[in-house]
Amino acid sequence: MRIPIDWLLQGSAWIRYRTRIDLLGEKETASGVLSERKEMLRDPQIAGLICSLDHWPGPPIKNHKQADLLSYKLSFLSEVGVRRGDPKMDGIARKIMKQAPADGIPRIPILIPKAFGGSGKVECAWVLCDAPVVLYALARMGYGENPSVRKGMAALSGFSRENGWPCAAAPELGKFRGPGRKDDPCPLANLLMLKALAEDKKLTKSAAARNGVEGALALWASRKTHKAYLFGMGTDFLKLKAPFIWYDLLHELEALSRYPAARQDHRFLQMIRLLESKADREGRFYPESVWLAWKDWEFSRKKEPSRWVTLLAHGILQRS
């Protein structure tokens, strides 16, 4: 499939930067890449997200589908290329890791209503649909060798089962677990853990990662007859959407495409063919659903092709 490189290089600095790195394979030290990166850090939207992280950890989490959570902003910034040593980032990373006790898993204020098995009070804790997002972002930004981050990754990896990661939560939350069968994997937690572990080459070869890959592919194979933890793979799942926040096709492929074993599997290739079918004649991709919290970004206009969604899609296709 044709990649619309010229069109991508007409986008914002953060899109041009990632196009050069991810699709053209240019080195970070190349003059053009350095220039794009400097401009990216001055971009008002990117700078605004970085400044918002000064308020970490932000208000208590009441719904993990709330698209403006600071953890999702941190994750997006890591994906565009903001990293260790950039303005404000070292201080923000220290603040995050300071809230991780001996197990290395960052705690965030969270409120789980009694109706969902929580206490109904704000507690500093973690669940497996927020902690991996934070650790993934820190590792991607260059903090992966920090002892706290390494401990956290190992601790979360340890919750893996033969069919992937279930819903799991900090001891502070007692017996809480999500609305699914006890023996099922949680599709979102499994996706997020695969994405996080992909930032550590040793962990990508672990039994936990292998189980997670198979768990994700098994969920795809049984999508018409089984819905784990209320996460289906129907119409909404198949819609292309950015940034990576919830359980959907593009996000799942982003995680799975990091694993050689997945890329050779016929179930993964079915998903890839679905993705390819969504491109227009110029190789561009359109957002098919949007997050209102990100409505001012170029990937939130459904009637227009999105450079960011196109870049993400072609990055996945190149790895596959």
Model confidence over 252-269: pLDDT tens digits? 999 999 999 999 999 999
Give the tens place of pLDDT for each residue, 29-75.
Answer: 999 999 999 999 999 999 999 999 999 999 999 989 999 999 999 99
176/169 Cα distance (integer angstroms): 7
224/193 Cα distance (integer angstroms): 24
Give the tens place of pLDDT for each residue, 124-164.
Answer: 999 999 999 999 999 999 999 999 999 999 999 999 999 99
Q: What average pLDDT does the structure give for the chain?
A: 95
